A and B are shown apart, each in its own frame.
Chain A
Amino acid sequence: MMTDLIIIGAGLAGLSAAITAAKQGRVCRLISLQPSERAQSVMAEGGINGALNTMGEDDSPAEHFADTMRGGVFLADPNAVKNLTDHAPDVLRMLWGLGVPFNMRGDTPVLRNFGGQKKKRTAYAKSSTGKILMNALIDEARKYETRGLIRRYAHHEFVALLLSADGAQCLGAKIYDRYTATTAKLYGAVILCSGGMNSLFPGLTTGSAANTGDVTATVFAQGVRLANLEFIQYHPTTVAIPGKRCLLSEAARGEGGRLFTLRNGEKWFFMEEKYPELGNLMPRDVVSREMVLCANAAGCDGKVYLDMTALDETVWQQKLSDLREECMRLLAKDPKTAPIEVSPGIHYFMGGIDVDENHRTSVKNLFAAGECACQYHGANRLGGNSMLGAIFGGQVAAASACAAQLQENIPEQERETRYTSRFCRMADRRITEILDPALGIFRTAEQMQAALAQLNALGDDFSEADRWHLLLAKAFLLCALNRKESRGAHTRRDYPDRDDVSYQKTTVARFDGENIQISLWELPERRAD
């Protein structure tokens, strides 16, 4: 039976999935809370990775693979990553063909240095890469919209999955029209592309406030498996502004920015001293950890500064003009003339909906891609790999969804799901006050246990939707408690070492209707080339 595809989310992953399916002649319904122009993807700054090898450094997909696996501390699915890094140059060429104005020299894109990568591999459009890529994909999707292949539902909220009676199969999705306040049921295979879970940490992330994580919380409550929630990326260079944290892109360091702290009044460039090879461009987990450790070392005052004062004029003009403008406007500081005080902030969720290399979830005919999915990044994501993972993952998910065989006349689970559209997230704030301190850069069992006990005491006065957020918050803590080692973005003071024997595995969380079950699953074996 040929049915429509239902895609939840219209950022890079959702658009990419829709375009891929439409090219095959499939009708997709593209559902998003807000139009694509408002998706978090437009905020991405520094760039997108692919071993195009245009910089005369003898780069290759194999090295991109090696850096990604190492950056993720060997927790990513090697077959999925291989697929990603092999296809990355094609993704960049596809974008280029869509008229994306990457920074170029002559007719080839220039690549920049990014964290955790030994070679220049990051294509960029100044420091507004996400916005520029989104623009190109939005135009491309429009072509199929007018042919009736992509049908936009751009002010619609995901309510819940429609599942078979046994919960093992996805039959479609229920959505809510925010403008008319009506709900509708759509039938077909579903691809979730709903982005990160920022609302679990309101005001504390660099991303969009509209990425509520409602979708992830809801499908988790409906029995869909999640993975690796303990890995939360703290980006090293962020600054608090009213209502959120503002990111200073890794491009700042890629173009020569340096981190220092004052030790006994003297500038201490700790990253350069401790990591001579990659220096300020070590993977983000390492930099954030070192910032906390070094700024609190003897003689230091707890503060870290990003020094961009030595960058030359052409870099400011051609590569970082928008970053500078943003600093002046939001922070009232000119990075060209004085170092800026920065601290790590929540930036990305490596964990999320558990998918295999074909982007299939634990429920049949349900797929996931982009930041809401747990794929490609292991224990720590490299900058520039997320937009790549979203676009490529969207393509793979769409191919899988197009091939899905849907059976007819499957009895549907009877379960009336709530609906409350919310302008207020008081419950989230109460959750965050407990969750955030326990899931910082350094963690201990004691702190996490205490947080869990506090969360267990919450919820009596919560709506159903809020209770699902609470459930998700508990799953974060249980995943983190269960991993008794330190790896990537998960650092335990009580288990400071990496333990490959017991923990080079995926943490899997599942809600059985009563309890959250946590288990460790073996990683897929790497196939021979």
Chain B
Amino acid sequence: MQYVLKIRRRTSSAAKPYWQRFVYETDLAGATVATALSALNDRNLLTDIDGSSCTRIAWDCGCLQKKCGACAMVICGSPALACNVRLAELKAKEITVEPLRKFPVVADLIVDRSILRENLQTIRAWLTADAPASEQKNDVLYEASRCLQCGCCLEICPNFSTEGKFFGMAAMAPTTRLLTALPKAEAKMLREQYRRHVYAGCGKSLACRNVCPAGIDIEKLLVNSNALAIWKKYR
């Protein structure tokens, strides 16, 4: 099969973005956008669709198995992991590939997602006491530990911006683990932070649920944490 990838590029954050088209041919049944990007970069000489030579495409990857979140980008308009999107399943004539739009671009498809870590620092997302797991809490603890910090949910969320006070699902999931694990008396500060940075800003449309590549049960975690951080207070 032959695919045309249309990639939004820029040499640095300061440079002007431009589109470049590449042709990628493969007979690998499971070939993904990540397979295509690797193969293009592995060519002795990288040329675009018109045969002009160009620089290698800057992008990030790691596991190639949707476990590390490194390769998040916007593919045919939707945020996704490049290693999780099969070329054959994309119906588009041209496959557009862009960097995530909510974060500052470093180069080509690499964006700076440091804000995710900074937000979790602001929330004070850590344990303030020993919090051994138990069989009964395990389901939620496990689900909440699976977040890849990929940022796909933030890309789609109408309420998230890097400057805003609302931190989105990428902060909700890790905070849920801690809220659930900690004894109630220890989690006061965390509950407050959760209310301010997660609960208050979320419109609950759950658009984020549909793009989460880890398939995290966002609704279940939200219900769990809202109960812990909000509702119990009024009882």
Tell me the A residues contacting B by CB distance below 8 Å. Answer: 34-35, 37-40, 42-43, 96-107, 125-126, 128, 131-132, 135-136, 139-140, 142-143, 145-146, 152, 154-155, 178-179, 208-210, 241-244, 246, 326, 330, 332, 423-426, 429
Contacts and interface: CB of A to CB of B under 8 A. Distances in A.
A148 to B, nearest CB: 11
Given A142-B120, A179-B112, A244-B64, 8 more contacts: A34-B68, A37-B149, A105-B135, A107-B134, A139-B178, A155-B114, A210-B61, A246-B65
A426 B44 contact: yes
B177 A106 contact: no
B35 A243 contact: yes
Interface in B57-79: 57-65, 67-70
Contacts of A100: 133, 141
A151 to B, nearest CB: 12
B142 interface: yes
B67 A43 contact: yes
A139 B125 contact: yes
Contacts of B149: 35, 37
B68 A154 contact: no
Contacts of B69: 37-38
B164 to A, nearest CB: 20
A97 B63 contact: no
A423 B67 CA distance: 21
A506 to B, nearest CB: 31
Contacts of B21: none
Contacts of A330: 30, 65
Contacts of B195: none
Contacts of A242: 28, 30-32, 35
A208 B131 CA distance: 31
A138 to B, nearest CB: 8
Nearest to A332: B30
B142 A42 contact: no
Contacts of B203: none
A42 B131 contact: no
A38 B68 CA distance: 4
A97 B132 contact: yes
B124 interface: yes
Listed from nearest, the 10 A-B pairs whose CB atoms lie closest are A99-B181, A101-B141, A143-B126, A135-B145, A423-B56, A38-B68, A101-B138, A242-B35, A210-B62, A208-B62
Given A34-B70, A242-B28, A330-B65, A99 B178 contact: yes
Contact of B38 (A98, A243, A332): A243
A95 B134 CA distance: 13
Contact of B131 (A43, A98, A145): A98
Nearest to B83: A243
24 contacts: A35-B113, A38-B60, A38-B68, A38-B70, A40-B62, A104-B135, A106-B135, A128-B146, A132-B145, A136-B145, A139-B126, A142-B125, A143-B127, A154-B114, A208-B62, A209-B61, A209-B64, A241-B64, A242-B28, A243-B32, A243-B83, A330-B30, A332-B30, A423-B41
Contacts of A42: 63, 67-68
B106 interface: yes
Contacts of B121: 142, 145-146
Given A104-B133, A139-B126, A424-B42, A209 B112 contact: no
B99 interface: no
Contacts of A209: 61-64
Contact of B63 (A107, A146, A208): A208
A413 to B, nearest CB: 32
Contacts of B165: none
B42 A429 contact: yes
Nearest to B114: A154
Nearest to A97: B130
B127 to A, nearest CB: 6
A147 to B, nearest CB: 10
B117 interface: yes
Contacts of A125: 142, 145
A126 B146 CA distance: 12
Contacts of B4: none
Contacts of B44: 426
B124 A424 contact: no
Contacts of B56: 423-424
Contacts of A246: 65
A178 B113 CA distance: 13
